Structure 1
Amino acid sequence: MGPVNWLGVALGTAGCFAVGALWYGVLFGKRWQREVGVSEPPKGAAAARIMGLTLLAEFVVVSMLAHLVARTAPAPHVVLMMAGGFGAAIIAPAIGINYLHQRRSLALFAIDAGHIVVGLLVAGLALIATA
């Protein structure tokens, strides 16, 4: 097992966070707000808390991906398969289970699941680029 690529983790976390900013901003922000019933984004301390905890959660996910990469030393294309697989086959179904019970819309699921899949693919690219 090789060491965890902490530079890749840092850049991957930042990349995943940046995807979220675009995703919930210019790309799907208005639709997402309609789907969840939010009319205004949080401000001040509430915004800082939400963004800080989001960054921490993304760091945990990207760290686990990096640990798996360090443990298995896969080829670059396999890193992307792992990253996409984490998002599409583990996290997205978990979101979907919760949304089914909460009776949330398919549109909301697509927005939120899409964010995590694309964000993790960006994180995988960061791990590859810094290897």
Structure 2
Amino acid sequence: MDPLNWPAIIVGTLIAFALGMLWFGPIFGKAWAKGSHGIKPPARLPVAAMLLQLAGTFLLALVIGLTAQVNALGTAIAAILALAVLQLAGGLFSQKSGAAALIDGGYVVVMGALMILIQGLL
């Protein structure tokens, strides 16, 4: 088995994390907050949530890296879609609007696609 492409895993993690700041900020932030029970920006930076998001993003990048080692693109895509559907379902169970739930699930799909692209480029 080939060694993991650590530069692609790290770059994929950082780019996907930065995408989240844009995705839930200027791109879809208002629509997401409105559909998420009117969430307001926190008084303090949500450090625990951000660290968990970073850890989860890293783990997804690691899964993409592991599937790249064995040319298992289909497995990577299935994993990304499974996470996106679970995210969508979780949003709907928590009674978010359909739009907010789609924004959550869409983020997973786009960040996963970026990670696959980065694995291919680096």
Which of residues 98, 102, 113 in structure 2 aligns to 1:106? 98
Q: Secondary structure at the match of 1:104?
A: coil
Equivalent residue, structure 2, for 1:68 = 67
What is the CA-CA distance between 1:16 and the residue it aligns to?
0.8
Aligned residues: 121
Q: Does 1:87 align with 2:88?
A: no
Higher relative contact order (CA 8 A, sep 6+): 1
More helix by share: 1
State whether residues 84 and 118 of structure 1, in contact with CA within 8 Å, keep that contact through their aligned partners in structure 2. Answer: no
Aligned residue type for 1:111: I
What is the CA-CA distance between 1:101 and the residue it aligns to?
2.8
Unaligned runs of 5+ in 2: none
Unaligned runs of 5+ in 1: none
TM-score (norm 2): 0.86
